[in-house]
A = this chain, B = another copy of it.
Amino acid sequence: MPLTDDQIAEIAELRAHPQPTLRATAPGMEKHLYLAHDVLDHGFVRVVDYMGDDSAIVQAARVSYGAGTKKSRDDSGLIRYLMRHWHSTPFEMCEIKLHVKLPVFVARQWIRHRTANVNEYSARYSILDREFYIPAPEHLAAQSTVNNQGRGDVLEGDEAARVLEILKADSTRAYDSYEAMLSQDGQQGLARELARMNLPANIYTQWYWKVDLHNLFHFLRLRADAHAQYEIRIYAETICRIVADWVPAAYAAFEDYRLGGATLSGKALECVKRKLAGEAVTQETSGMSKGEWREFEALLGQTPR
């Protein structure tokens, strides 16, 4: 349970006093505000603020396209059209601010998405808590033998036990050392900005992360993908559920066109046409490399991947 009693009380207080506003409000989002969605063993995602809703997307599109659009299309159809044709600017008109607690190695992947605003807890200024990510047994996976950048089977028995033992023991020792170096008991105490270097990448950090809906969708497409590392994917999936409550029409379009969709190359498109015309296309006649052909067949569900 990642929240302290103080934090729970603070959240209750924040949720106790609705204020009137003239801004667009998203009822589906109000119910999430401030509440912590648990992720991993000590992490969470909390919505701290949001701007806009499905209508804000439509409204921005109509500034661009003028009044004519008003009659011809309902909101959800217009949102699908915008998504299908890569009209990204109307989606940028919505904004979300999240408070996220996450292991450092997840934060390091996350921050590669540069088009966002971030305020991270400073271990130069303050002391980090003794909280480390230790994978649940079902997520302790072996290195994949076919993909350098992936996981294989779940570890079992002694090997799993040994890994958990190492992760726990090393975390404990690293944090004990951190405290010992910082201590001002009978000594000066090492500067925080130096002591932090002893802490491993499974320690938890936290940040405020603010991003517009277009860039959030880009993040979610990459990080909620089956090939993303589990430990960041679980954050992305949590955020997906929140976004589905916030902007249901935009999320449905995103799900169909991005998460559930696929990009075909010119060669792949040509092969689809030839197959539909009844031709028996093979890798050799496809013009694709073996790797591409394997991915193509998997996409069409004709060969298990």
Residues of B within 8 A of A104 (CB): 108, 201
Contact between A142 and B198, CB atoms less than 8 A apart: no
Question: What B residues does A25 contact at CB under 8 A?
Answer: 19-21
Interface members, chain A 5-45 (any B CB < 8 Å)? 14-15, 17-25, 30, 33-34
- In the complex, whether A304 has a CB less than 8 A from a CB of chain B is no
**Per a CB cutoff under 8 Å, which of B49, B187, B266 touches A255?**
B266
Closest to A206 in B: B63
Interface size range of chain A in the complex: 35 or more
The answer, among B14, B125, B170, for a CB contact under 8 Å with A173, is B170
- Asked if B263 and A122 sit within 8 Å, CB to CB, the answer is no
Q: Are A65 and B264 in contact (CB under 8 A)?
A: no
| Complex CA–CA separation, A68 to B46 (angstroms) | 22
Q: In the complex where A80-B289, A197-B201 touch, is A208 in contact with B63 (Cβ < 8 A)?
A: yes
What CA separation (Å) do A200 and B201 show in the bound complex?
6
Interface of A, helix, strand, loop or mixed by DSSP: mixed
Contact A265:B275 (CB < 8 A) given known A23-B49, A190-B143, A196-B105: no
Q: Is A239 an interface residue (CB 8 A)?
A: no
Cβ contact within 8 Å between B266 and A65: no
Tell whether, in the assembled complex, residue A119 and residue B63 are in contact, meaning their CB atoms are under 8 Å apart.
yes
Contacts of A200 in B (CB 8 A): 174, 197-201
**In the complex, chain B residues whose CB is within 8 Å of the CB of A266:** 255-257, 259-261
Task: Give A184's nearest chain B residue, CB to CB.
Answer: B143
Interface positions, chain A 205-223, Cβ under 8 Å from B, are 206-208, 210, 212, 222
A262 to B25, CA, bound (A): 36
Q: Is residue A77 within 8 Å, beta carbon to beta carbon, of the partner chain? A: yes
Whether A272 is near chain B, meaning CB under 8 Å from some CB there, is yes
Nearest residue, chain B, Cβ from A62: B119
Contact B194 A141 (CB under 8 A): yes
**Within the assembled complex, what's the spacing in Å between the Cα atoms of A133 and B180?**
19
Convert A82-112 into 0s and 1s, putting 1 for each residue whose CB lies closer than 8 angstroms to a CB of B.
Answer: 0010100110110101010001110010011
Determine if B105 and A108 form an interchain contact, defined as CB atoms under 8 angstroms apart: no
A268 at the interface (CB under 8 A from B): yes
> Measured between alpha carbons, how far is A184 from B25 in the docked complex, in Å?
43
With A159-B188, A166-B181 given, is the CB distance from A121 to B257 under 8 Å? no
Q: Which residues of B contact A71 (CB under 8 A)?
A: none
Closest to A154 in B: B188
Chain B residues, Cβ within 8 Å of A256: 265-267
Contacts of A20 in B (CB 8 A): 18-21, 25, 30
What are 15 A-B residue pairs whose CB atoms fall within 8 Å in the complex?
A20-B21, A66-B126, A80-B292, A105-B196, A122-B149, A135-B194, A141-B191, A152-B188, A170-B198, A174-B200, A255-B266, A257-B263, A261-B265, A262-B264, A273-B300
